[in-house]
């Protein structure tokens, strides 16, 4: 499934919450199951083995001591040590500054992506990890000129034009060299397009003006707001081409009002014409909708991106070998590629560097867990998840030995805990880990259908998946824009995410018993 349409990105994450176990808050109750908005089959009940906490005294006792579960008291103490070291360690921040400011945007197939692969591999070697580069084939699309200009509209001053702020979608076809001039048709939804008379879009530039739900994002459901709107970016060009349009515009999928266009991947149905596709800002979408209601709006659109032959690129894999079970693997990961408009700080330089910091902390603290912790910097999440597909193929035989997979790919704002995907019993298994994270406000355990598009290929085969439960209220303001830059990173929040990754990875890698696996994993895609 293309990344922009994957469950992760269309983000049903919090919509599939099944159990929230709160460890850090007395006011929120000591342990409770929160009624979800969307609860899959009977998943509302707490995990079966969760002990009943019937009265206030029992609840208090459970709050103060959740038990040590699969870990010894010494291992629980190590979790606190790792947490505190993570919060004091500037390593991730320093690495992110280099990735963003020195190397820059890391679009799949670009020289910067290649440089980032070399850089991260060298940094991991410097930590003493066992590094390998895993070859994968990626698209090589290069942005060109991109301009939108209104040349006729109701009420215009004679001999004037209006600028429309837009950016080509990743993978977009080019316009003819002289551009396209055509009337603009604005529809809010696919359904609204279908309801128009046949041929209504023929020869037109079609704008899907579907708003990003800012209220949903403001309430912490940024992923759901994104998911509801991103289908227009992903499928819009082919729907528009099927209706006879000559180009497709989409209202930017994002939450801020700074006249910023948000790029992102789009995907063409091979049986339909590949028409040029761009995202206009929310402000320009409103303007086009208003003018088009008044009469004919003519627009000149020029896009000159190039789709070059695919090139070889790499996942960077760095193993911190297990002391006693080196064949058993815990993945910690983020994706190294980024969009080209900004420098990929929040998406997903942050995920890469907090994962790098896991190995840095293990080295600094001289911790060698029983199992192998495997750092992966995935290549090409943004335009097809090619790196993740390659990993799933190349490591198919090892998947039963993968005992957990972590990915961070929702920015780096404050994490309130750990979100897991897999067996419901994982919630109870994680309680002592969440207890170790509670002092920094990250003691909430929640469950989602999916926890990262790169690890989806192993999670769908039954490997327990985990991600920091990041605050998504602001992420989509900058996501895929020119403003995804280093200054958007709060150093404290970045360190908190590193702490969640490091403590959870250590807990998985050193547990006496591995985490429960889903009994009936989905069959591989």
| Inter-residue contact 485 to 345 (CB < 8 Å) | yes
- Pick from 192, 341, 182: nearest CA to 252: 341
Binders of Zn ion among residues 134 to 193 (CB under 5 A) are none
Binders of Zn ion among residues 402 to 431 (CB under 5 A) are 409
Q: How far is the CB of 336 from Zn ion (least distance, A)?
A: 10
Binding characters for Zn ion, 310-349, by CB under 5 A (x = yes): -------------------------------------xx-
Q: Which residues contact 471 (CB under 8 A, 6 or more apart)?
A: 220, 413, 414, 415, 416, 493
* DSSP letters spanning 274-290: ---EEEEPHHHHHHHHH
Q: How far is the CB of 423 from Zn ion (least distance, A)?
A: 26
CA distance 455 to 375: 12
In angstroms, how far is CA 247 from the centroid of its own chain? 28
Q: How far is the CB of 411 from Zn ion (least distance, A)?
A: 9
Binding characters for Zn ion, 444-483, by CB under 5 A (x = yes): ----------------------------------------
DSSP H/E element including 515: none
| Inter-residue contact 220 to 339 (CB < 8 Å) | no
Number of residues that bind Zn ion (CB under 5 A): 3
Q: How far is the CB of 410 from Zn ion (least distance, A)?
A: 8
Binders of Zn ion among residues 343 to 382 (CB under 5 A) are 347-348
Q: Which is nearer to Zn ion, 11 or 75 (CB)?
A: 11
Q: Which residues contact 359 (CB under 8 A, 6 or more apart)?
A: 124, 127, 129, 318, 320, 332, 373, 375
Cα→Cα distances 171→258, 310, 360, 480, 487, Å: 25, 12, 36, 14, 28
Please state whether the peptide bond connecting residue 348 to the residue before it is cis, i.e. omega within 30 degrees of 0: yes
Q: How far is the CB of 344 from Zn ion (least distance, A)?
A: 8
CA distance 488 to 411: 10
Q: How far is the CB of 476 from Zn ion (least distance, A)?
A: 12
DSSP 446: E
The catalytic residues are: 381
Q: Which is nearer to Zn ion, 336 or 423 (CB)?
A: 336
| Inter-residue contact 141 to 307 (CB < 8 Å) | yes
Count CA atoms closer than 13 A to 313's CA, side-chain side.
32
Q: How far is the CB of 86 from Zn ion (least distance, A)?
A: 22
- Pick from 29, 74, 105: nearest CA to 444: 29
Q: How far is the CB of 348 from Zn ion (least distance, A)?
A: 4
Q: Which is nearer to Zn ion, 175 or 383 (CB)?
A: 383
CA distance 467 to 351: 10
Q: Which is nearer to Zn ion, 213 or 380 (CB)?
A: 380
Buried b (16+ CB within 10 A) or exposed e, 450-478: bbbbbbbbbbbbbbbbbbbbbbbbbbbbb
Phi-psi label, residue 240: left if phi above 0, alpha if psi -120 to 50, beta otherwise: alpha
Q: Which is nearer to Zn ion, 265 or 509 (CB)?
A: 265
Q: How far is the CB of 69 from Zn ion (least distance, A)?
A: 32
- Residue 484 near Zn ion by CB under 5 A: no
Q: Hey, is 365 helix, strand or coil?
A: coil
Q: Which residues contact 201 (CB under 8 A, 6 or more apart)?
A: 185, 193, 240, 243, 244, 245
Specify burial of residue 422 (Cβ count, 10 A radius: 0-12, 13-18, 19+): buried
Q: How far is the CB of 440 from Zn ion (least distance, A)?
A: 24
CB atoms under 10 Å from CB of 286, counted, come to: 15
Q: Which residues contact 349 (CB under 8 A, 6 or more apart)?
A: 96, 99, 100, 334, 338, 343
List of residues contacting Zn ion (CB under 5 A): 347-348, 409
């Amino acid at each position: 499934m293309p990344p922009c349409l994957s469950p992760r990105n269309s983000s049903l994450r919090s919509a599939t919450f099944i159990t929230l176990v709160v460890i850090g808050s007395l006011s929120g109750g000591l342990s409770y199951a929160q009624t979800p908005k969307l609860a899959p089959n009977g998943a509302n009940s707490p995990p079966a083995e969760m002990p009943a906490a019937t009265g206030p005294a029992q609840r208090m006792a459970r709050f103060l001591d959740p038990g040590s579960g699969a870990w010894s008291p010494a291992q629980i103490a190590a979790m606190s040590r790792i947490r505190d070291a993570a919060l004091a360690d500037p390593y991730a921040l320093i690495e992110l500054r280099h990735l963003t400011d020195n190397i820059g945007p890391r679009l799949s197939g670009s020289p910067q992506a290649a440089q980032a692969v070399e850089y991260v591999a060298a940094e991991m070697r410097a930590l003493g990890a066992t590094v390998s580069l895993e070859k994968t084939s990626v698209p090589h699309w290069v942005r060109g000129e991109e301009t939108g200009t209104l040349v006729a509209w109701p009420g215009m001053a004679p001999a004037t034009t209006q600028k429309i702020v837009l950016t080509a979608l990743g993978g977009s076809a080019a316009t003819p060299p002289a551009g396209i001039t055509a009337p603009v048709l604005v529809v809010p939804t696919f359904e609204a397009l279908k309801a128009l008379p046949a041929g209504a879009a023929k020869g037109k530039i079609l704008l899907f003006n579907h708003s990003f739900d800012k209220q949903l994002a403001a309430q912490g459901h940024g992923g759901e707001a994104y998911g509801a709107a991103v289908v227009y970016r992903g499928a819009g060009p082919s729907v528009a081409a099927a209706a006879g349009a000559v180009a497709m515009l989409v209202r930017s999928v994002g939450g801020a009002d700074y006249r910023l266009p948000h790029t992102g991947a789009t995907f063409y149905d091979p049986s339909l014409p590949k028409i040029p596709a761009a995202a206009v800002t929310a402000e320009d979408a409103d303007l086009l909708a208003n003018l088009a209601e008044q009469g004919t709006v003519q627009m000149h659109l020029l896009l000159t991106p190039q789709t070059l032959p695919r090139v070889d690129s790499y996942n960077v894999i760095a193993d911190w070998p297990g002391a006693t079970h080196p064949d058993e693997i815990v993945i910690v990961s983020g994706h190294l590629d980024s969009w080209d408009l900004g420098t990929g700080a929040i998406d997903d330089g942050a995920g890469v560097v907090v994962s790098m910091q896991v190995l840095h902390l293990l080295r600094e603290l001289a911790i060698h867990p029983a199992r192998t912790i495997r750092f992966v910097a995935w290549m090409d999440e943004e335009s097809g998840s090619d790196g993740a597909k390659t990993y799933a193929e190349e490591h198919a035989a090892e998947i039963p030995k993968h005992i957990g997979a972590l990915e961070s790919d929702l920015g780096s704002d404050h994490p309130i805990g750990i979100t897991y995907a897999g067996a419901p019993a994982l919630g109870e298994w994680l309680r002592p880990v969440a207890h170790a994270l509670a002092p920094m406000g990250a003691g909430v355990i929640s469950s989602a259908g999916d926890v990262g598009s790169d690890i989806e290929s192993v999670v769908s085969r039954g490997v327990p998946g985990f991600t920091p439960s990041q605050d998504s209220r602001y992420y989509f303001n900058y996501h895929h824009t020119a403003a995804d830059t280093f200054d958007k990173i709060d150093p404290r929040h970045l360190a908190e995410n590193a702490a969640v990754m490091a403590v959870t990875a250590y807990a998985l890698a050193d547990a006496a018993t591995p985490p429960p696996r889903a009994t009936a994993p989905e069959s591989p895609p």
